[in-house]
């Protein structure tokens, strides 16, 4: 659609660029792309519909405009009026806004002075009053969310100017025009600042991904106080873990809903169900969850003080009966129920559903009842209720299975439910003879669970009135809002909604749309049990250990919140010491010096002078302040992290906050330091030595090739002009070697993206070797001491290379992709051959080329669809990388032939249809890629039973019950795809081999008709086939051959209809029609567009998977494992 934007309002002399030929009757903004206004209006309505609102404030403004015909202005504003605390005015264009119509809008009067991001929502009508007959007044309604971009909204084409200025019409009397504006303002809640507890007294539940269905049910159960009290009284102990105990998790959840100030997480509860994250992202059925949860709780309550609570609250009983009409025989069976499934389709309200529930069915004719000694008898069959429970749960059957379409459908029909439900109506028509008539079955509506959306997914929320007062609340995940009765009841009936007519003066058909939000479950509470069920629940109902545990949790949460809120006032100082280096190097880390996540942290106020912080360190470590020297760390260009220099005395007088900002340019909240402490021979601290520019602080690691161990052995100050040879004796002492031990020194330079560790020249100065503060020297005994062959990694560089590239890989069989079979330690640099050799050795397979590997998809947590080709990747790392993530999982298969050989072959999955029996066999044919379809069929002949030795076969491509191709025998199989469509092989019937010059080979398909989206659609099913049509053959003759071919009974075949189908449209044929006249094309390729259609119902048994075969999503059954 072309979008035309008019110039600003103040450019009145320029013509506004609104297309005169495309007048839009609906409401429009004065500025902006007018042809889009209907879309914008709809969006505004839907955006606001789901937001918390207060009662709308309404006002009627009347504006009398005198000397109307003499107005000489292009536009005219009314005086300002206030509705809902907001300033409004009406704007009109007396001569039209570049159209021959009166243009009229509602305008935000103070739009220019409102703060950035303002918005307000209003429903309003604008009217020009007919002063002769009020009923002829022209009034138009709309709604809009006003904002800075759209601060006016209304109707460019409100009414024709010719009607307005015609004195006989009554709109202009004494040259006075009367305009009315009815405005209703709803205040939109700002969700960022909205406080459910403050506004309503209740809190919501957090959504874990797709758990809104569970949240709405849990809120409903929580707000049945008797149920909540029973949950609190279930025995739990302080040693129980909420993640493993459903009672404790539910107690914890209910306690938090009762006492928290913010929304509550359900993760503990779902973990107690035994669910993983996947279950939390899979939307289940709320009715099914209700049953399963109540069954679990009923089981957990057995043998406790609250045993039987579920039955007392929710259990009712009905009686199934069959009563003979002509003999005295009656069979009855009592059954219990916790909820009732009520039909929605074909029922206008709850009472109609109950009428249908107890409807009497007559058993007669072929359906007579076998009444024991009386034989087959006519009888009445039905259900009557013995008793109803105090809490009546009604599950509305909004979803049903459509057997014709082989799919689930949602019923969005209008379905009413009353605020008070009288199940004793019409003299107790729903009650059985033995029902206790002294119990008054009058119920009050407590909650309405709503499903918004379609069959494949949607959103759940609940309207509840917790105390059965007149105030309703909407519980929608984290948010709780006050709602009125209309929103809780009438707006959840479903059905269709009619948009208000934009021009009542015309006979335009109102636009209707289906409401996809409607009630799905209703909870009623019996009036006589109201006091018992809506009882008081307070802290004395909660076990002491639970109160203590949850209060502690709350205190910890509050501490975390305060910690977070005050974080800007504090600096985290992380202090690494020699002890940390000794502890970590060679165990947790091998490169650099320390992992700062594992060192002592201090949380210090930013204003604290650093000298005072040193006193904190003295208390912590027992090291007097005068013996402490702190070094600042620096990140080098090669991405290593090393101590850079000691703090100066002047820096130590600064505040902690200043020091962090000065030392850390990345705005990280942490200050990282190394604490240098010098120890005397008796291990007591001594003052740190003076450091000049000539002095360099070096760190030393010792490597043992025999043990494959690396460890930290200490640090030394050396002179930059000095040489490594001068400190060899000291290093031998640190290592525990003899003073004369020959050692090799290496400088650890970097380790990302690859290891760089170089031999250090012992006779060159440190300055010449570019050694500086914080550098790391690794050393080991000279390799002459051991034969290199005895050690896997004889020197420091090879060991660091090994550590950097080693990778633990979890191998899983492709047939069992969820289970680890074994783990291997490999190197990321291992070649393809290295990896398959190690896997083959682990599996005891002689030939590594028979191992095929498949990589892992890190996002779906499944094997990737395509295996790794033989030597298709160079290194292990290439096998493990998936986009920007690295996996540690590979899947393996053991093949029956080497992979290079298999890759030269093509495997096709062929469905062979036997000619002599109603049977299909699946065969996997494996042939060289250059083979032809003829080769495939010859191979298939060796595997199947043919009707006779000389039978010829053909290969077809079948997709969605249509034949799209007959493969030529010479076609190469390399490009044939069997992933998306079926490859079907069959014998060529003899009649097709000798076609006469006038014979036709046509496609024959089965089909049903479906009505959807107000149009008829054809749905194909079953197995398609070819048929030879003779010249002049009538439909009656063709039908006989089809019936014989398909072996259909006479009774069933009479129900079938036959049609010539072209481009999906049926043209029904009579028995006398000459079939060949319809099929003029002889070419069968592309002939799926024209076929002989057999219309009948699909009576073939459905496969278990068929229902969900074409669905994008499906619902797993709800399971609670614990």
Q: Tell me if residue 458 falls in helix, strand or coil.
A: strand
> What is the distance between the alpha carbons of residues 49 and 67, in angstroms, rounded to a whole number?
42
Distance CA 1112, CA 1004 (A): 30
Measured distance CA(247)–CA(233) in Å, rounded: 9
Helix H segments across 1016-1120?
A: 1035-1046, 1050-1053
- The length of the chain is 1122
**Structure tokens belonging to residue 13:** 């002399």
Q: Which two tokens stand for residue 943?
A: 């595997």
Burial class from Cβ neighbours inside 10 Å (0-12, 13-18, 19+) for residue 131 reads middle
Q: Could you say which of 459, 830, 856, 1003 is catalytic?
A: 459
Q: How far is CA 554 from CA 57, 232, 241, 262, 897, in A?
A: 40, 18, 17, 11, 63
Return the number of other C-beta atoms located less than 10 Å from residue 936's C-beta.
26
Check if the beta carbon of residue 370 is closer than 8 Å to that of residue 379: no
Contact status, residue 992 vs residue 1025, Cβ threshold 8 Å = no
User: Could you tell me if residue 24 is left (phi over 0), alpha (psi between -120 and 50 degrees) or otherwise beta?
Assistant: beta
- For CA atoms 976, 982, 986, 988, the dihedral sign is negative
Planar angle of CA 513, 515, 517, nearest 5 degrees: 160
Please name which of 575, 715, 750, 597 lies closest in space to residue 647, comparing C-alpha atoms: 575
| Strand runs labelled E in 647-724 | 670-676, 678-679, 685-686, 695-704, 709-719
In 129-171, at which residue ranges do the beta strands (DSSP E only) sit? 138-147, 152-160
Of 126, 115, 122, 105, give the one whose Cα is nearest residue 187. 122
φ/ψ region of 680 (left if φ > 0, alpha if ψ in -120 to 50, else beta) reads: beta
Residue 459 bears catalytic tag: yes
Cβ proximity of 52 and 147 under 8 Å: no
Question: Please, is 877 exposed, middle or buried when counting C-beta atoms within 10 Å of its C-beta (0-12, 13-18, 19+)?
Answer: middle
How does DSSP assign 833-880, residue by residue? Answer: HHHHHHHHHHHT-S-GGGEEEEEEETTTTEE-SSPPPTT-SSBHHHHH
Residue 360 CA neighbour count, 13 Å, CB half: 12
Question: What would the two tokens of residue 322 be?
Answer: 């069959």
Closest CA to 860 of 818, 799, 893: 818
| Active-site residue (options: 177, 212, 324, 347) | 212
φ, ψ (nearest 5 deg) of residue 185: -110, 125
Tokens at 114, concatenated: 């409102």
Tokens representing 282? 């899979």
Output the DSSP codes for 774-794.
T-EEEEEE-GGGS-GGG-SS-
Residue with tokens 């874990």: 208
Q: Is 905 helix (H, G, I), strand (E, B) or coil?
A: strand
Distance, in Å, from the CA atom of 454 to the CA atom of 398, rounded to the nearest integer, reads 10
Contact in structure between 585 and 593 (CB atoms under 8 Å): yes
Q: Under DSSP, is residue 386 helix (H, G, I), strand (E, B) or coil?
A: strand
8 Å CB contact between 439 and 420:
no
778 is catalytic: no
**Coil, strand, or helix at residue 1072?**
coil
Return the SS3 of 1020.
Answer: strand
CB distance 251 to 274 below 8 Å? no
User: Which residues are catalytic, by number?
Assistant: 212, 459
């Amino acid at each position: 659609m072309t979008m035309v934007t008019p110039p600003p309002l103040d450019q009145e002399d320029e013509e506004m660029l609104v297309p005169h030929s495309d007048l839009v009757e609906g409401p429009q903004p004065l500025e902006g792309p007018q042809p889009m206004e209907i879309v914008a209006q709809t969006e505004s309505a839907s955006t606001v519909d789901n937001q918390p609102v207060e009662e709308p404030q309404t006002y009627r403004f009347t504006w009398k405009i005198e000397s109307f015909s003499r107005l000489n202005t292009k536009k005219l504003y009314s005086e300002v009026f206030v509705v809902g605390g907001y300033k409004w005015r009406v704007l009109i264009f007396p001569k039209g806004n570049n159209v021959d119509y009166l243009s009229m809008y509602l305008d935000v009067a103070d739009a220019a002075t409102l703060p950035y991001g303002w918005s307000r929502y209003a429903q309003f009508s604008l009217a020009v009053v007919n002063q002769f007959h009020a009923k002829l007044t022209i009034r138009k309604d709309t709604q809009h969310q006003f904002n800075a971009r759209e601060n006016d909204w209304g109707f460019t084409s409100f009414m024709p100017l010719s009607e307005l200025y015609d004195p006989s019409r009554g709109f202009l009397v004494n040259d006075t025009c009367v305009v009315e504006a009815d405005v209703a303002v709803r205040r939109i809640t700002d969700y960022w600042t909205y406080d459910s507890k403050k506004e309503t007294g209740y809190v919501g539940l957090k959504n874990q991904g797709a758990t809104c269905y569970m949240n709405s049910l849990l809120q409903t159960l929580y707000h049945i106080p008797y149920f909540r009290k029973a949950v609190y009284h279930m025995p739990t102990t302080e040693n129980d873990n909420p993640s493993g105990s459903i009672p404790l998790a539910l107690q914890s959840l209910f306690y938090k809903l009762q006492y928290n100030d913010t929304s509550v997480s359900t993760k503990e509860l779902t973990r107690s169900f035994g669910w993983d994250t996947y279950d939390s992202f899979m939307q289940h059925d709320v009715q099914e969850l209700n049953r399963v949860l109540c069954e679990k709780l009923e089981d957990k309550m057995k043998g406790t003080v609250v045993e039987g609570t579920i039955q007392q609250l929710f259990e009712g009983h009905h009686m199934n009966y069959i009563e003979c009409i002509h003999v005295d025989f009656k069979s009855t069976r009592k059954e219990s129920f916790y909820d009732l499934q009520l039909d929605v389709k074909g029922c206008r309200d709850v009472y109609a559903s109950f009428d249908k529930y107890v409807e009497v069915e007559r058993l007669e004719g072929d359906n007579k009842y076998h009444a024991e000694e009386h034989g087959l008898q006519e009888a009445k069959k039905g259900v009557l209720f013995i008793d109803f429970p105090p809490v009546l749960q009604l599950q509305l059957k909004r979803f049903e299975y459509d057997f014709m379409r082989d799919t689930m459908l949602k019923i969005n029909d209008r379905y009413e439910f009353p605020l008070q439900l009288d199940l004793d109506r019409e003299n107790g028509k729903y009650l059985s003879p033995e029902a206790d008539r002294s119990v008054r079955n009058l119920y009050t509506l407590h909650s309405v669970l709503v499903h918004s959306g379609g069959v494949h997914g949607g959103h759940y929320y609940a309207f509840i009135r917790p105390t059965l007062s007149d105030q309703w609340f909407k519980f929608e995940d984290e948010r709780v809002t006050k709602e009125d009765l209309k929103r809780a009841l009438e707006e959840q009936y479903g059905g269709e909604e009619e948009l208000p007519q934009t021009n009542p003066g015309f006979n335009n058909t109102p636009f209707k749309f289906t409401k996809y939000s409607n009630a799905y479950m209703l909870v009623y509470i019996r009036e006589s049990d109201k006091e018992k069920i809506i009882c008081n629940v307070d802290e004395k109902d909660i076990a002491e250990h639970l109160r203590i545990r949850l209060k502690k949790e709350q205190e910890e949460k509050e501490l975390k919140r305060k910690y977070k809120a005050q974080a800007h006032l504090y600096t985290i100082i992380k202090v690494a010491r020699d002890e940390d280096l000794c502890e970590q190097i060679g165990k947790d880390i091998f490169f650099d010096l320390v992992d700062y996540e594992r060192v002592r942290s201090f949380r210090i106020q930013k204003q604290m002078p650093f000298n005072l912080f040193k006193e904190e360190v003295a208390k912590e470590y027992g090291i007097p302040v005068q013996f402490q020297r702190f070094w600042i760390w620096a990140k080098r260009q090669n991405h290593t992290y090393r101590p850079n220099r000691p703090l100066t005395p002047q820096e130590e007088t600064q505040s902690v906050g200043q020091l962090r900002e000065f030392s850390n340019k990345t705005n990280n909240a942490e200050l990282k330091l190394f604490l240098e402490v010098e120890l005397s021979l008796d291990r007591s601290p001594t003052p740190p030595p003076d450091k000049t520019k000539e002095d360099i602080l070096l760190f030393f690691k010792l490597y043992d090739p025999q043990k494959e161990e690396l460890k930290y052995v200490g640090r030394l100050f050396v002179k930059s002009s000095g040489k490594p040879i001068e400190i060899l004796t000291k290093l031998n002492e640190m290592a525990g070697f003899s003073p004369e031990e020959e050692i090799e020194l290496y400088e650890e330079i970097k380790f990302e993206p690859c290891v760089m560790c170089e031999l250090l020249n012992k006779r060159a100065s440190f300055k010449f070797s570019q050694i500086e503060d914080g550098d790391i020297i690794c050393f080991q005994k000279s390799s002459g001491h051991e034969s290199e062959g005895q050690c896997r990694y004889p020197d420091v560089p090879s060991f660091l290379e090994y550590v950097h590239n080693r990778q633990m890989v979890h191998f899983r069989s492709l047939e069992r992709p969820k289970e680890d079979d074994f783990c291997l330690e490999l190197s990321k640099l291992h070649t393809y051959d290295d990896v398959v050799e190690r896997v083959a050795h682990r599996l005891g397979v002689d030939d590594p080329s028979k191992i095929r590997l498949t990589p892992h998809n890190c996002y779906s947590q499944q094997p990737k669809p395509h295996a790794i080709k033989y030597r298709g990747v160079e290194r292990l790392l290439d096998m493990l990388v998936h986009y920007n993530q690295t996996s540690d999982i590979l899947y393996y298969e053991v093949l029956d032939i080497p992979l290079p050989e298999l890759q030269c072959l093509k495997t096709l999955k062929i469905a062979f249809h036997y000619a002599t029996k109603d049977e299909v066999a699946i065969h996997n044919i494996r042939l060289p890629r250059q083979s032809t379809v003829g080769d495939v069929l010859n191979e298939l002949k060796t595997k199947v039973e043919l009707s006779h030795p000389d039978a010829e076969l053909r290969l077809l491509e079948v997709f969605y019950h249509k034949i799209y191709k007959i493969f030529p025998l010479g076609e190469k199989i390399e490009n044939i795809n069997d992933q998306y469509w079926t490859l079907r092989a069959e014998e060529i019937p003899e009649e097709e081999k000798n076609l006469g010059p006038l014979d036709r080979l046509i496609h024959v398909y089965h089909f049903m008709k479906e009505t959807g989206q107000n149009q008829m659609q054809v749905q194909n099913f079953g197995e398609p086939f070819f048929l030879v049509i003779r010249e002049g053959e009538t439909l009656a003759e063709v039908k006989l051959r089809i019936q014989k071919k398909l072996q259909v009974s006479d009774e069933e075949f009479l129900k079938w209809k036959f049609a010539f189908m072209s481009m999906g449209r049926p043209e029904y044929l009579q028995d006398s029609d000459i079939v060949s006249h319809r099929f003029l094309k002889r070419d069968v390729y592309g002939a799926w567009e024209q076929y002989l259609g057999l219309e009948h119902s699909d009576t073939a048994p459905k496969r278990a998977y068929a229902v969900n075969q074409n669905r994008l999503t499906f619902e797993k059954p709800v399971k609670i494992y614990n």
